[in-house]
Structure formats: C-alpha cells, structure tokens
C-alpha cells in the first residue's frame, strides 16, 4: 500500500501548520509563565523590603528602651549608693520615725491643726477665695435660724 504523493504533501502541509500554531502557542505560554514568575519575584522582593523596614523599626525601639533602662539602672545604683550612708539613715529616721538628734527638740503637730495652717498659708499666698455675695435677707435668715 503505497500512498500517493499528493496525500503525503497534504499531510506535510497540515502538520506544518499545526507545528507553527503549536510554536506560537508555546511561545505565548512561555511568555506568560515568565511574566508570572517575574511578578512573583517582584512581589517577594517588595515584601522582603517591607519586612526589613519593620524589623529596623523594632530594633530602633528596642535600642531606645535598652538605653532608657540603662539610665534608670544607673539612677537606681546611685540612689542605692547614697542610701547606704549614715547621713541618709539619720534623715530617714528623723522623717519617718520622728526621731530627734541629741541637741534637737521634736514637735508633734496634730493633723487638723496642720491642715488649717496649710489653708491659712494658701489664703495668704494666693489671696482670699472669691465668694459670691450672699443676699442680705439670707444673712438675716441664717442669723435668726442660728439664734441670737
């Protein structure tokens, strides 16, 4: 069974057109794939840059907090050093426990007297409080109500 040359030519022509179509489709698929990969890579780079920026901000905040804590630690160390002196203990004993030295006198002032003295000092320093004038009839009413 021998095929005719015309039939072979038709087959070649058909298969040639299929291969050119297949090639163009393959090229388009490859281009689309490369574009998709490029977009994915660009997104990954952008996301990495954003995460790096966030980590830098966290690092800066941590440094500030460490510096703040070091400063506070230094203050506490100095305070502890000053608290270990005899002068500090003496001052605290006088203030908190109401102790007095050998040639000193201790005065105990009751709280109500101290509060009224503070009010008087405030009045003296800040001036008298402005009070709304009470009408005369209210003053007479209070006078009669309180009794003569």
pLDDT given at position 11: 56
Quote the number of domains for the chain: 1
The span from the CA of 134 to the CA of 148, in Å, is 20
pLDDT, one tens digit per residue, over 67-96 is 999 999 999 999 999 888 888 888 887 778
pLDDT, one tens digit per residue, over 16-75 is 556 677 888 899 999 999 999 999 999 999 999 999 999 999 999 999 999 999 999 999
Q: How many helices (H) and strands (E) does the chain have?
A: 4, 0
Instruction: Kindly tell me if the per-residue pLDDT of 1 is higher than 60.
Output: no
Residue pair 123/117 in contact by the 8 Å Cβ criterion: no
Range of the domain at 50: 5-146
pTM for the model: 0.42
Q: With CA atoms as reference, report the closest residue to 99 among 108, 109, 111, 86.
A: 108
């Amino acid at each position: 069974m021998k095929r005719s040359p015309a039939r072979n030519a038709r087959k070649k022509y058909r298969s040639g057109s299929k291969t050119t179509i297949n090639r163009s489709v393959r090229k388009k698929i490859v281009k689309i794939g490369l574009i998709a990969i490029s977009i994915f890579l660009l997104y990954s780079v952008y996301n990495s840059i954003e995460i790096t920026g966030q980590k830098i901000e966290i690092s800066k905040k941590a440094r500030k907090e460490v510096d703040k804590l070091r400063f506070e630690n230094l203050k506490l160390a100095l305070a502890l050093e000053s608290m270990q002196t005899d002068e500090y203990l003496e001052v605290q004993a006088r203030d908190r426990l109401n102790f007095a030295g050998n040639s000193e006198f201790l005065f105990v002032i009751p709280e109500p007297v101290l509060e009224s003295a503070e009010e008087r000092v405030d009045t003296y320093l800040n001036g008298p409080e402005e009070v709304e004038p009470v009408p005369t009839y209210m003053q007479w009413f209070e006078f009669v109500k309180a009794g003569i």
